[in-house]
Amino acid sequence: GLALCKAPAQGRHMIAKAEVMAGKSTLGTGPARPLALARWLLAVAALVVLMIVVGGITRLTESGLSITEWKPVTGAIPPLSDAQWRAEFAAYQQIGEYRHVTGPAGMTLADYKFIYFWEWFHRLLGRIIGVAFAVPLVWFWIKRRIPAGYKVRLVALLVLGGLQGVFGWFMVRSGLSEQVTDVSHFWLSIHLLTALVTLVWVAVVGFTRV
């Protein structure tokens, strides 16, 4: 009689153990993959750190106004011919920064190419971060590997990243007038603060366990 009582108990124990193991397996390979999400988001956070550093270099070298147009797609390709470079330089020569600061200082086309590079690289990193965030997000979403509670936060991060680009352009546009020689400090602050908030939020969501 005692053996018969132990057998069902042992059976239940084995079933419970199997269920726990199955749960662990599901966590590692099934729909909810917090580790994969964490690695992805922390990689994005590293890109954002690089973006902030390059943004600082762009500011210190006064390169932010070197590109006078916002071309989200075609702007990823820099000028490839001498004619294209001269056209970009001519557009830059119309703004106040050139007329009152860099022009009188004797800026050459070679000098312009230097500041153009930093602003172009800064914008290129923004495009790379957008792709590095949006494409995996779509993939995780289609594969149903986003844990409960993550979707809203991830979509909000995507929107925040888009706003960061818009704020960056507002900042640049504020300095393109013939009467001013620098960007608006208001938009500069908004642009930087949004980047810092994005960095912190990406890291927090990446470290948060479901």
User: What are the tens digits of pLDDT across the range 60-72?
Assistant: 999 999 999 988 8
Q: What is the rounded average pLDDT of the residues 21-47?
A: 66
Q: What is the rounded average pLDDT of the residues 181-209?
A: 90
Neighbours of 61 (CB within 10 A): 14
Alpha helices in the chain (DSSP H): 2-29, 34-60, 82-92, 96-97, 109-142, 151-173, 185-207
Position 209 confidence tier, pLDDT thresholds 50, 70, 90: low
Q: Does the structure show a pLDDT above 80 at 11? A: no
Q: What is the rounded average pLDDT of the residues 19-33?
A: 41
The overall pTM is greater than 0.75: yes
The two structure tokens encoding residue 165: 């680009």
- pLDDT, residue 117, reads 97
Q: How far is CA 167 from the centre of its chain?
A: 13
Q: Does the structure show a pLDDT above 70 at 42? A: yes
Alpha helices in 70-108 (DSSP H): 82-92, 96-97
The two structure tokens encoding residue 109: 């086309």
Q: Does the structure show a pLDDT above 50 at 200? A: yes
Helix (H/G/I), strand (E/B), else coil: 104? coil
Q: Percent of the chain, pLDDT > 70?
A: 83
- pLDDT, residue 10, reads 53
Measure the CA–CA gap between 164 and 161, rounded to whole angstroms: 5
The two structure tokens encoding residue 156: 């909000």
- pLDDT, residue 131, reads 95
Measure the CA–CA gap between 30 and 208, rounded to whole angstroms: 18
Measure the CA–CA gap between 16 and 19, rounded to whole angstroms: 5
Neighbours of 172 (CB within 10 A): 23
- pLDDT, residue 25, reads 36
| pLDDT tens string 88-112 | 999 999 999 999 999 999 999 999 9
The two structure tokens encoding residue 11: 């059976």
